[in-house]
A and B are shown apart, each in its own frame.
Chain A
Amino acid sequence: MATKQRRNKILIVDDEWQAGIVKAVTRRLEQEGWEAVTINPGPGRRSGDEFESAALFAIEEQRPDGVLLDVRFGEHRDDRFKGLEILQKIVADHPRLPVLMFTQYAQGPERETAVRGTLRWDAQVDFIDKLASPEEVVLRLRRLIGRSPETIAIGDRIVVDTRAQVVYVKKDSGQETVNDIQGMKFEILRELAATWFRSPGELVPFGRLERYSEGEDARASLRVRIREIKDSLGEALGVRFGADDLIINIRGHGYRLVAPRA
């Protein structure tokens, strides 16, 4: 096995770490192939201060790639914005460490603006509503950490390995390389997959993809290549990808990738 990429490690600092909503995020992070470490200051220790010292210690000890930090700790009035105090301490000691804050809307934009005003302009801090779906949390963390993985899984069965420059599909019988997708076609798929990974709804404009086409009519040859990519993957998986599947054309603007439905 080649040198394995280190897994992203996320530290979760939330007094509701046993609640379903946080557990669902933890589970989703693990599915993503990330390591989720939950702070637990110990039995009976529930105050904001206890979480603060446990979190700061864990950052030194575990060296996480990102922190998911709640704003509110418990029902005590003094701990209503304890998370913001913890944030200031983290940013002071580790200015490059990405932190995603779990907020409630009512503490929202104005407080966000106030907090941002006290941080350095390039601080890696973002805010997300606590009711956000686990998918949304993962997307924000992906962008905040900003590192694309070497292998991008599109849905459950297609994998783009950007280091080895191959695409393979997962089947019941094992993993199979799709040999037809190489060179320019691989570059097109890699471009679409990388954008999809970081920002799933975002369109890749024709201009960025036409670099990987040649001939007098770059757009027409791009269209042919995309058709071929869809056919090759479809053949490998034993399905047919139509106009609204896998790679879709947005009239006159570009293409985007859509994960195939299970």
Chain B
Amino acid sequence: MLESLVAALSPLNLALALCGVLAGTVIGALPGLSATMAVAVLVPFTFTMDPASGLIALGAVYTGAIYGGAYAAILVNTPGTPAAIATAMDGFPMAKRGDGDLAVTLSCLASVVGGLVGALALLFLAPPLSQIALAFGPVEYFWLAIFGLSLIATLSAGHTLMGIIGGCIGLLLSTVGSAVVGGDVRYTFGQTQLLGGIPIIPAMIGLYCIPVLIDLVIRPEAHLERRSEQMAGFRLIEALGKVWCAKFNLVRSAVIGTAVGILPAAGGSVAGLVAYTEAKRTSKESDNFGKGATDGVIASEAANSATVGGGFIPTLVLGIPGTPPDAIILGALLVQGIRTGPQLFTQQGDIVYTFVIGLIIATMLMLPTGLVVGRYAFRLIISVPKTALAPGIALLTVIGSYAIEVNTVHVLMMVGLGLVGWVLARIGLQASPIVLGLILGPIAEAGFVQAWLIGGAQGNIPAMFFGRPISLAIIALTLLTLGWPFIAAWRAKRKAAGAA
């Protein structure tokens, strides 16, 4: 491993790491552009590089973009990847009330810690952790997706019915197209473009960015209020203080992010949510969540940065991508002749170790680059007049939805869903439940049908669904999360009764 360390510190690789993180952060910070797109367009570049360097470049861009996505989430309420959804929930309210710079710095610090935890897990624990990922069969994925969906209900507390409706709309949207399991062609209205279903990233961009864009244009007031002290600094000391107070939350969220990120396909989107929900559940000021709680931003950002490292584990060891950008990086790996599999760490270990160490370096470089980019992003959003901001965002959303698969129909879908999304938001149906339903639907359904078929083959369907230890644990967790508000209220009543 020592040679890998030296290799990773070579000037070329260091430069790649730095440029990658910088480029990734800038791209991720632009609303409308996503981490997936950033990685997708940069892949061809890496073919001319040697495998380790190419991987470092892609990994750095990915890390930077996940992290830059926090800026778009905080300042413009438009998460760039599924992992950043929870950041917007508290980040944007913080920005609205004038604490945008604090949120930005907090997310920077939390991301660095989260990213390090994920990368370290990748470095030292990849093979054993991937065995755990293998133990997750269709049933476990089904329950995991149900758990994720149940989080929608928890997070829309107070407007639970609306959240449920939104989630179901997302679920229905996810069934559009040709089903993987069963081959049914559903809800396509005869359009061949819809056979593949509704693509997630354009849908996300549409549902989050377009309503923001519309509001930007039709509301006379400024997007974010200026406060004169804001331009001064990073509020770094303040942020450090908050992070220290939240250290338990921070580490726990990073671990959750890594652990959930290991699960292929489901990982990225669910990780941030689970961490956020846990933080909310255990916080003394849980009512603040959703209105600008710093702990929420910390939890979400630590978790989603941890999914970078965590998501590489199934990608490298099982050949199944952990998150959408991982799928693209996987393709690049194969072109470079890297064979995924547990033997990757033994046979081509030097490449992998150089890559992971490079990833760690990139994560650490996030601290300075993030703070600097964050400051400029913040200033930019505040000072640019709407007549320039609005067209800029519009252009970015078009590019962001087109470039991933080079498909103009995706742009149309993005706009269409966006306009509908704005109308829905006005009636009270927020974007997050719909997007979550869209992402988790296929996972839940595939898991369900596969589990049903396997259970049927074994002659015992109920045992399949309810008889396996990991799924039971997930079911218990789901019930706990759903029931917690009631338990907490009951406990509070008893306390009050006891004190009286």
Interaction A to B? no
Chain B residues with CB under 8 Å of chain A are none
